[in-house]
Amino acid sequence: MKKTNKQSRARTPRVLKESKFSPLSIEIIKKLKKSGFQGYLVGGCIRDLLSGITPKDFDISTNATPEEVRKIFKSSRIIGKRFRLVHVFSRNELIEVSTFRANISRDENNSEVLKDSAGKILRDNVWGTLEEDCIRRDFSVNALYFDPLQNILYDFHNGLEHIQKKVLVSIGDPQLRFEEDPVRSLRAIRFSSKLNFKISNDVKEAIYKKGHLLGNISNARMFDEFCKIFLTKQALENFKKLNSFGVLKYLINTREYNEHTFDLKFQHAALINTDNRLKASKSVTPGFLIAALLWPKLMDASKEKGNLNLRKFFRSMDGTIREQQVLTAVPRKFHSYIKDIWSLQLKLETRLGHQPYKILNHPRFRAAYDFLLLREEAAKDKQGIGDWWTQFQKINRPGKIELLKRLKESRSGPVEKKFGFLEELS
């Protein structure tokens, strides 16, 4: 039986009463109400606060249509086609205001709800009530609505109880919900890592059964999701879970792991490195991570009889990125960054003549050096090249000359034959 508005009122936890919400979000809700509309804080911000996490942004839900919201707020813009909503902004903040959606099954013929033959929702713009809006949200913990002016929490799907029990529960049959929008399976994995929640059994089953539908999602949306999954401090955990659910292949173009222990070790090292950098508030770029995640694929395309074929190596770079583009739309600005890191791996190893001086000044030197250290970390046959560069950076000019002299003396035979850890090319 559907809960009425009154029944769905939950006892408001103290944390919400005492929370400091973003001033812009409060201002928006006040203005909406003044204009005769409803306005609630909803989704991730309420869920995170109740789980003891600082929210990264504040989303608002209202019964005002996007056009009505747009009229109320001077600094606002309507965005989206599949899912139209309004961005209301101040100088340093942006709030998403979305209009209540109706349960789409109510009106199958409405042109504002469009599904493809696999059941995927292509357009979802039928306005509804608060109760209806709850039903189309993905998980119970994401369907909590809070009125910060009256301190009232609305909970139609036991979201509060599920937060306490630390479990991710789908609203409605998860297999149908994942057909409507396959990205929900990635969201389930992402939230379980972020919140440290269990995934309920029926949701797990739905990921196994409907995961393949991720192949139908646009590469632009997949790239957005890629960034949320891998650039928000739980990259390693998400990677492992995605792999165990068999859906990693929809995000990363990689080779089978069972035969290549190096690949997994190296990718794990890069993911841990990303997580650690974020935890230390250092910058991260999807470019670096993508370069690392695709490295095994590039090695695969460049090898010849267990050695590196230089011509293949350079020729395969664009192709490797292009194959990844089919899955996730990696912005063009990262392409040359990724290729620079890859090409520099060769130069960092060969260190011919006076090249090391030039390499030190290369704008991507630091990234390429970090990349090399991660490769060494994952390799069985350490070659000490990372250490050599650590020393070469630190030491004074006479020291540098001496290091290069010793390197030259220690060499015999063609340099390119020695490239790489053999495991990478096996």
Nearer to Mg ion, 86 or 292 (CB): 86
For 368, the token pair is: 């390429």
Maximum Cα–Cα distance across the chain: 83
Count CB atoms within 10 A of the CB of residue 411: 13
CB of 85 to Mg ion, least distance (A): 12
Q: Let me know if 387 is a catalytic residue.
A: no
CB of 184 to ligand ATP, least distance (A): 5
Asked if 56 touches ligand ATP (CB under 6 A), the answer is yes
CB of 75 to Mg ion, least distance (A): 20
For 30, the token pair is: 């006040």
Asked if 157 touches ligand ATP (CB under 6 A), the answer is no
Select the residue interacting with ligand ATP from 25, 29, 59, 342 (CB under 6 A). Answer: 59
Select the residue interacting with ligand ATP from 183, 317, 321, 344 (CB under 6 A). Answer: 183
CB of 294 to ligand ATP, least distance (A): 25
Q: In the stretch 217-246, what mask flags binding to ligand ATP with x, by CB under 6 A?
A: -----------x------------------
The residue annotated as part of the active site, out of 124, 133, 138, 155, is: 138
Asked if 282 touches ligand ATP (CB under 6 A), the answer is no
Name which of 125, 205, 209, 139 is nearest 167 in CA terms.
139
Count of residues of this chain found to bind Mg ion when the rule CB under 5 A is applied: 2
Please, are residues 379 and 421 in contact by the beta-carbon 8 Å criterion? yes
CB of 11 to ligand ATP, least distance (A): 21
Q: Let me know if 155 is a catalytic residue.
A: no
Count CB atoms within 10 A of the CB of residue 67: 11
Per DSSP bridges, beta strands 144-147 and 94-99 are unpaired
Nearer to Mg ion, 49 or 372 (CB): 49
Q: Let me know if 138 is a catalytic residue.
A: yes
Integer Cα distance of 148 and 133 in angstroms: 19
Q: If residue 96 lies in a helix (H) or strand (E), which one and from where to where?
A: strand 94-99
Q: In the stretch 341-370, what mask flags binding to Mg ion with x, by CB under 5 A?
A: ------------------------------
DSSP single-letter state for residue 127: B
